[in-house]
Structure 1
Amino acid sequence: MTSTTQTVCPSCGGPISEADRFCEACGAELTPTGPSMPAIDTDTEPTIELNTGASAVPGPCRSCGGTISADGYCETCGTKATKPRDHFSEQPAPWVAGVCDRGIRHSRNEDALAVAADPEPGSRALLVVCDGVSSSLDSDVASLAAARAARDVLVAGHAKGLGTESSRNSAVVARLKAAADAASDAVLENTSPDSPNPASCTFVATVLEDGLLVAGVVGDSRAYWFPDEAEAVALTVDDSWAAELIATGVPRHEAETGPQAHAITRWLGKDAPDHTPRTTSLNVTGPGWLLVCSDGLWNYCSEAAPLADLVRQTAAANGGEPLATSSALVDWANAQGGQDNITVALARI
């Protein structure tokens, strides 16, 4: 990896290098003179296409309602049209859905999601979220490739073990690790060999099969289980500087708002120390919500109990429909400031 000059973020004082475009500690966009406002989109890097269909045509300008010209800008106010990657959703079954959004501050969406589900509610659901590291090159390409590669591995595998509960759990954990391997390979395939700042992203995935729920994580994207009649559960523990501080007794709010709150200690990428996901398993015995999300959501509501209340209230206001609820949670995060890309994936069990 090419060495770079180290300096500090003018916004929070966190460590940055001259190759960084965003501060990993506070998320501030960097320029030669300091943090900048998100007014200009300078994204010229390739982006993996979404399945938008051949007839996809830019709609009216989101700023003024004017017509978008062939060059991608509004003919009336000059605002650049939103790209399909800026905001997209997936709903493989009525009970499972996800929404991925650019947020307000960032000029492009480096989050990604990929979900799959069987038609029968509560039967089988596979949710994957990857959050591209903003300071790395091509992280938007790498995160989407990683999420899709992991989902495809999870969809293809359906091992039952040797018929016992422990062997079934071991089989699902092995499949999650294979999915992380595939995601890592996808990141490497989308990294330039001579890149001074290799593409990288976080990884979180959940597998729900016939009452068994297994979650695996690398980085600081998260999975939660919110049962209707029991205590909310955080299924994952972040690989981050903040999580290490919390483990030593530092209050969560203090650790998660400090100058290096979003400095992660593990990730997927060429320079990753280890990409084996840490896993958690539990048996689902009643109805509830499974949430998988990026830090664009949990930044504003981190602890399991209040986040469960938010999800339940939002779901109640949207008829319990996962896609509408995911979209409303994204809107809520944007209303709190939208400082980062936002991804919300939900399964109603």
Structure 2
Amino acid sequence: MTTVRTCPACSDRAATGDVFCEGCGRPLPEGAGGAPVEHTDNVTTAPQQSMSEAARGGPGTPGGNGARNGDGARPGLVPPDGGPTAPQVSLHGATAGPGDGRVPPETRTPPRGAAPSGGPPASGSPEADAGRADSLITQSLRRDSVTPRPEAAAPPVPDWPPPAVGSNPVQPTNPEMCVWCPGRVGDGYCEKCGFLQPTGRDHVEVRTGAAVGVSDRGLRHRRNEDAMAIRVVAADDPRSPGTVCAVVCDGVSSSPRSDEASRVTAETGATVLAEQIRRGADPREATGVAMTRAAEAVAGIAESLDSAPACTFVSAVVDPATGTVTVGWVGDSRAYWLSGGPGSSASALLTRDDSWSEAMVQMGALSRDEAMRSANAHALIAWMGADSGEIDAHISTVTPTGPGTVLLCSDGLWNYYPEAHSLTDAVPKAGTRPHEAARTYVGLALRAGGKDNITAVLIPVPTEQGGSRAEQD
């Protein structure tokens, strides 16, 4: 039984160790009343699909021995160099720290967003413990405390609510005024009510000829802490014409300025990816360089290790000439392959979460259902930020067969549709109308509750004959 508290501002649930509300960002008073409940996760995540299982055609795998709807066997997506979950590139302390710029493992900041964990300590080097979860999951977990800014003497506040700007009903003409109460704003927070302020990113859509993305703040958050960036190499480029580079980042709510962290990381990652590809770099090499630069960029905006903005990261490089898909990730933002038809590779999850629940499952300590029912289920064991210490970036390359779509998304979407086949069934043939599909995915998440920020980036993948599925239909 886990004792939870209720936020007095938005009635969202908060666990015993929480010091602020993830729903609205307001600091939680000590001793707030609550009642014991069985668990704090209202959405049970179904088992993730293993790419290795997809390749073997095992039971429960679309197109395998347990094929759904009689589709028959379909090729899997296991890369020639092994599964997609093994760390490939170490960021080696790229984030800022005292002294030599690296944070020693013994002083590394514990995972974000969870209550204390009492698991046995891990042992051995990463090489010796390959196949086991990151040893960070055995360390004490904490949330960074948020101390409200003290009230300062100020001129009388004008009448509230203030007039709005244009068609935006909440953005005031005076940026120093809170949009939720007659208080003053400092560093993005109201000094009176403590609420986060809108940033102009509540709903964003990016549309190119080769990829589209839609991001929305959802129904429970006061601002959008997700970010996305898309870069497409020119069609006349001599090295990699038409290659698509995309990044999705999800700000860690327990860190300050998490919306800024995701924006800086996404823009840096996508820009460096495209630059490396134009210079002729291999997609895997380009992904490693982009992730290192992105980690350095987000670390650079931290005022201190105790006040470090942080976010997750997932990227994709899609080469239209070969049809290969290279993904890189840190955290729990995901990449999926969505099958375009019976002759295509089966839909599959291309990433593995850097989360407490996934670590428990990989270690065999808990079943997936048990891990996802825990209050620590979504606690991160790796992220990008100045307080992340040395982390390993995961990189994987797959070559799907037939037409399909790569989906990059934050947990605001996959919390409601965790399995690859459920995403495929929810929006059939997403690659034929990617912009409409991206908006549909966001709409489905909103109708399902919209508890978190939601971001979906769709990249149609060429067929063997060349050209996207949309162009051929």
Q: What TM-score does the superposition give when structure 2 sets the normalisation length?
A: 0.56
Question: Aligned pair count?
Answer: 298
Of residues 322, 335, 353, the one that matches 1:223 is 335
- Tell me how far apart the structure 2 counterparts of residues 133 and 10 of structure 1 sit (CA, whole Å): 21
Aligned-pair CA distance for 1:95 = 3.3
Aligned partner of residue 450 in structure 2, secondary structure: coil
Q: Are 2:416 and 1:306 equivalent residues in the alignment?
A: no
Of residues 174, 191, 214, the one that matches 2:326 is 214
- Tell me how far apart the structure 1 counterparts of residues 250 and 168 of structure 2 sit (CA, whole Å): 29
* Deviating more after overlay: 281-290 vs 253-262: 253-262
Amino acid at match of 1:281: T
Structure 1 residues 339, 9: CA separation in 2 closer, same or farther (over 3 Å shift)? same
Aligned-pair CA distance for 1:220 = 0.3
Amino acid at match of 1:227: S
- Tell me how far apart the structure 2 counterparts of residues 81 and 237 of structure 1 sit (CA, whole Å): 33
Aligned-pair CA distance for 1:124 = 1.6
Amino acid at match of 2:437: T
For residues 111-169 of structure 1, the C-alpha deviation after alignment (integer angstroms, 9 at most, x for no partner) is 1111122476x9421110111100100111111000000001011012797xxxxxx8x
Structure 1 residue ranges without an equivalent (≥5): 1-7, 37-42, 45-56, 63-67, 162-167
- Partner residue, 2:405: 289
- Partner residue, 1:132: 251
Aligned-pair CA distance for 1:61 = 3.4
Of residues 70, 85, 88, the one that matches 2:173 is 70
For residues 158-193 of structure 1, the C-alpha deviation after alignment (integer angstroms, 9 at most, x for no partner) is 2797xxxxxx8xx32121111111111121122123
Q: Are 2:145 and 1:145 equivalent residues in the alignment?
A: no
Amino acid at match of 1:235: L
- Tell me how far apart the structure 1 counterparts of residues 246 and 33 of structure 2 sit (CA, whole Å): 34
Structure 1 residues 153, 22: CA separation in 2 closer, same or farther (over 3 Å shift)? same
Aligned-pair CA distance for 1:294 = 0.3
Native 8 Å contact 2:338 2:348 kept in 1: yes
Amino acid at match of 1:172: P
Native 8 Å contact 1:291 1:346 kept in 2: yes
Native 8 Å contact 2:233 2:278 kept in 1: no
Native 8 Å contact 1:109 1:341 kept in 2: yes
Amino acid at match of 2:354: D
Aligned partner of residue 442 in structure 2, secondary structure: helix
Aligned partner of residue 238 in structure 1, secondary structure: coil
- Tell me how far apart the structure 1 counterparts of residues 166 and 201 of structure 2 sit (CA, whole Å): 12
Native 8 Å contact 1:9 1:16 kept in 2: no
- Tell me how far apart the structure 2 counterparts of residues 278 and 35 of structure 1 sit (CA, whole Å): 42
Native 8 Å contact 1:14 1:260 kept in 2: no
Native 8 Å contact 2:328 2:395 kept in 1: yes
Amino acid at match of 1:22: E
Aligned-pair CA distance for 1:270 = 1.1
Amino acid at match of 2:229: A
Amino acid at match of 1:311: V
Matches within 5 A, 1:241-320: 241-249=356-364, 250-312=366-428, 315=430, 320=432
Higher gyration radius (CA): 2
- Tell me how far apart the structure 2 counterparts of residues 184 and 15 of structure 1 sit (CA, whole Å): 31
- Tell me how far apart the structure 2 counterparts of residues 188 and 35 of structure 1 sit (CA, whole Å): 37
- Partner residue, 2:311: 201
Q: Are 2:462 and 1:346 equivalent residues in the alignment?
A: no
Native 8 Å contact 2:300 2:386 kept in 1: no
For residues 274-314 of structure 1, the C-alpha deviation after alignment (integer angstroms, 9 at most, x for no partner) is 3432111111331101100000000011112212212327x
- Tell me how far apart the structure 2 counterparts of residues 107 and 35 of structure 1 sit (CA, whole Å): 23
Q: Are 2:15 and 1:32 equivalent residues in the alignment?
A: no
Q: Where has structure 1 moved over 6 Å in runs of 4 or more?
A: none
Amino acid at match of 1:16: G
